[in-house]
């Protein structure tokens, strides 16, 4: 997951001057990936007190991130818009 964030960060920095849409979308992707990593770490920390329930929570975080990424790839290629729910704004647009 960290290598994916690093790759998207590199691509966003490299292409941000080519098109403002790349910059905006790159920041949204990095915000979502950082938020997803934070949620994943939080769900792993919950393994100690809630081991049975947390298995499903960690799986849900991974499935949610995968589905959201695939959906946004499809939508961006067709309409140039995106939606990353539950994303914390670490980088401002």
Question: 67 to each of 20, 48, 62, 83, 92, how far by Cα in Å?
Answer: 26, 27, 9, 12, 24
| pTM of the predicted protein model | 0.75
Please tell me the predicted confidence (pLDDT) of residue 80. Answer: 75
* pLDDT tens digits, 8-52: 666 666 666 677 777 788 788 888 988 999 999 998 888 877 767
Please tell me the predicted confidence (pLDDT) of residue 58. Answer: 86
Question: 69 to each of 48, 62, 63, 64, how far by Cα in Å?
Answer: 29, 11, 10, 8
């Amino acid at each position: 997951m960290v290598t994916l964030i690093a790759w998207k960060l590199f691509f966003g920095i490299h292409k941000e001057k080519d098109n403002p849409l790349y910059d905006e979308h790159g920041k949204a992707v990095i915000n979502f990936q950082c938020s997803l990593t934070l949620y994943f770490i939080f769900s792993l920390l919950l393994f100690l007190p809630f081991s049975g329930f947390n298995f499903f929570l960690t799986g849900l975080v991974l499935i949610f991130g995968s589905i959201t990424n695939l959906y946004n790839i499809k939508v961006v290629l067709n309409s140039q818009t995106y939606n990353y729910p539950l994303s914390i704004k670490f980088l401002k647009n």
